[in-house]
Amino acid sequence: MGRMVRKQFYIDEDLESALERYSAESGLPQAALVRTALERFLQEVREEAARSEAWGQVVTGMEEAAALPPRASGRTWKREDAYPGER
């Protein structure tokens, strides 16, 4: 963990009560719980951004494939050609 930077923010009374309760139950400082929650949230944001980017690439690929001209003659072989000797 790098250098700590002091931040100040407001939370409502319900969050304050929950934070105090979890801190007492776990024995961890409230600041550590807030840092952990923030780290998890930011990880979820990064993962969602990565999923969104990947899905965008899939959609782009599908659009590019749909824009290709159709094959003039289709396939040039018959199923039977793939299994010589079987009839």
Count structural domains, the chain: 1
The pLDDT of residue 15 is 97
The pLDDT of residue 83 is 85
Say what the pTM is: 0.65
Q: Are 33 and 23 in contact (CB under 8 A)?
A: yes
Give the model confidence (pLDDT) of 3-55 as tens digits. Answer: 999 999 999 999 999 999 999 999 999 999 999 999 999 999 999 999 999 99
Helices (H), the chain: 13-26, 30-67, 79-82
Q: Is residue 41 situated within a structural domain?
A: yes
CA distance 45 to 9: 20
Range of the domain at 44: 13-65
Q: Is residue 38 situated within a structural domain?
A: yes
Q: Is residue 83 situated within a structural domain?
A: no
Q: Is residue 17 situated within a structural domain?
A: yes
Radius of gyration of the chain (CA): 29
The pLDDT of residue 78 is 79
- What residue has token string 């923030």? 38
Q: Is residue 46 situated within a structural domain?
A: yes
Q: Is residue 49 situated within a structural domain?
A: yes
Q: Is residue 45 situated within a structural domain?
A: yes
Q: Is residue 34 situated within a structural domain?
A: yes
